[in-house]
Amino acid sequence: MGALIIATGGTIASLPDPERGAVRPAVSGEELVAGIPELSRFGPVEVIELERVNGWNMTPALMLDVVHELRARLADADTGAVVTHGTDTVEETAFLCELLVGVEMPVVFAAAMRSGGEVAADGPRNLLNAVKVAASRESSGWGSLVAMNDELHSARWCRKLDSYRPSAFSSPDHGPVGAVTPDRLRISPPPDRVLLDTPDALRVEVPVVKTYTGMGEDLIEAVLDRTGAGGVVLEGSGAGNVPGSALSGIRAAIRGGVPVAIATGVPAGGVVPIYGGPGGGMTLREEGVLSAGGLPAGKARLLLMVCLSVTESVDETRRLFESSVDALAPGAFGNG
């Protein structure tokens, strides 16, 4: 028995710059572990320093590196693993691991809202809780989890909903799946996993376009032309609506064999096709736009990137994306 920790940086590994006061990644994974003597209860700790970046500087390629490292290290392991990460994108890397790391014991992400130089820094406790969960058989079957503020959130549902409070993470429409107390772990039974083939690389570019009132008719086509994208995710409003001026670009993308998916910027409820008229959710569905269901745009983007990387036709990509969205939110707000 022991603990495997993959370190990628983030606030949990950050300290204020003595000259400017700006917080930046400055602490190694080994130093993080050395500052938490209680971790010795779980046996020897192996730390892999994969990267040391802020969460907003994570890339899909680096996220996939985390996946490949975990798949290699956990193939024959009897415990899970912990990944330290920045909070800005932890829900996305955790979600990619949820889709691609098919092991019984969980991958638990530990992050922090307060750097190591602040009063009541939350990183050490979150990391200790994450190791507890990764080592516990009670958490088996859960895929990827995020351990923050003594709560456990499933990677498929969790969202960062506050910019600075330690209670920043929540799971709209679902709530936390467990809690870590000083003397025990409480966790719900896991849902069925959704596991996809793991690509060697995420080679297909998928931009996210946030729609807004009065957006230009040529914006979507301009984005696709500039990026050479193989897919696009739109972040709409309400139940998944976009300005009618976006329709010409959507139609052009779909005619050109580029899958288009719609997510909503609203945290709870997901995409529900209700409205007709230019840009309404029902109109988008009739045009062939894919629904991201309850996935936020960032997670929908990663799912579409994986689907494009492991399928050979647009029709296969569409089927895999739709079936994955439905399976990730059983009984909730899917493709309707």
Tell me the pLDDT tens digit for each residue of 215-249: 999 999 999 999 999 999 999 999 999 999 999 99
pLDDT, average across residues 58-82 = 95
What CATH class does 208-328 carry? alpha beta
Q: Does residue 252 have a pLDDT over 80?
A: yes
Q: Same fold for the domain at 3-187 and the one at 208-328?
A: yes
Q: Does residue 1 have a pLDDT over 80?
A: no
Q: Does residue 34 have a pLDDT over 70?
A: yes
Active site residues: 11
Average per-residue pLDDT in the chain?
A: 95
Compute the CA torsion angle 262, 267, 268, 271 (nearest 10 deg): -10
Model pLDDT, residue 324: 97
Q: Does residue 2 have a pLDDT over 90?
A: no
CA torsion through residues 94, 288, 201, 235, sign: negative
Q: Does residue 335 have a pLDDT over 80?
A: no
CA distance 273 to 252: 21
Q: Does residue 302 have a pLDDT over 80?
A: yes
Confidence grade of residue 333 (pLDDT, cut at 50, 70, 90): very low
Model pLDDT, residue 75: 87
Q: Does residue 329 have a pLDDT over 90?
A: no
Q: Does residue 96 have a pLDDT over 80?
A: yes
Q: What's the pLDDT tens digit per position in 189-222?
A: 999 999 999 999 999 999 999 999 999 999 999 9
**Percent with pLDDT over 70 in the chain:** 98
CATH topology for 3-187? Rossmann fold (3.40.50)
Residue boundaries of the structural domains of the chain: 3-187, 208-328
CA distance 328 to 314: 21
